[in-house]
Structure 1
Amino acid sequence: MLVRLLYASRAVDVSPAALESILSTGRSHNTGSGITGILCYGGGMFLQALEGGRMAVNNLYGHILRDPRHKDVVLLHYEEILERRFGGWTMGQVNLNKLNATTVLKYSERPELDPYAVSGKVSLALLEELMATAAIVGRS
């Protein structure tokens, strides 16, 4: 059974090296676990969608909850799915600071996305638009 999980967290370390560590760890782990997804980052926040088997996604989310690189982890959305939307990425990435403000304003009160202030469905709609407009990099 496939599931999609969407969460937000705050970065403990916002350095480029810390971000690269999260991305490389995710990509190497996710390939073997059958997990795909997207990691959006900006303003010290992460917004991530994970897709895969229920146990694999749940286990990864449990790891993220305990990961000292994340704080204020909040589950935004969880659903059983028929097919993956982000199946082309072991861990695609989006720098939210580089997005056009009008794209973010479609889904948020301010031009800076705050996933803590919007619904999980709104955050998922933004991710789908980013995918449709080729704003996601790191395709694997």
Structure 2
Amino acid sequence: MKGAAMSTPLSFFLYSSRLAPDCDPTEVGNIVKVAREFNASHGITGILVFDGERFTQYIEGPASEVDALVAKLPKDSRHTDFLH
């Protein structure tokens, strides 16, 4: 269709993990700060829930950006027991 906007395929991902034993819970504030900046610049949105021990996160955005982030998440040493 002439003049129709091209849509970007969207993707989503849900995971849970546990704060690494050697990571102080106060580090979560730094994680959130960096993630907000990264996500905003990559068109990613979502929600992070942290109960002091476990993370649960839902993310969504352009498929290529979500896929790249999902590939990095399990490698982050600040959390363990990554389940998706």
Amino acid at match of 1:70: H
What are the superposed Cα offsets for residues 11-39 of structure 1, whole Å, 9 maximum, x if unpaired?
112422x1011101100100110000100
Larger Rg: 2
Name the one with the larger strand percent. Answer: 2
Unaligned runs of 5+ in 1: 76-140
**For 1:8, which of 16, 25, 44 is the aligned residue?**
16
Q: Number of aligned residue pairs: give it.
A: 74
Unaligned runs of 5+ in 2: 1-8
1:23 & 1:68 partners in 2: Cα distance? 15
Identity %: 34
1:19 and 2:28 aligned: yes
**For 1:58, which of 59, 67, 84 is the aligned residue?**
67
RMSD after superposition: 1.0
2:76 & 2:59 partners in 1: Cα distance? 16
Structure 1 residue runs of 4 or more that deviate by more than 3 Å after TM superposition: none
1:14 & 1:52 partners in 2: Cα distance? 29
Q: TM-score, normalised by structure 1?
A: 0.51
Q: TM-score, normalised by structure 2?
A: 0.82
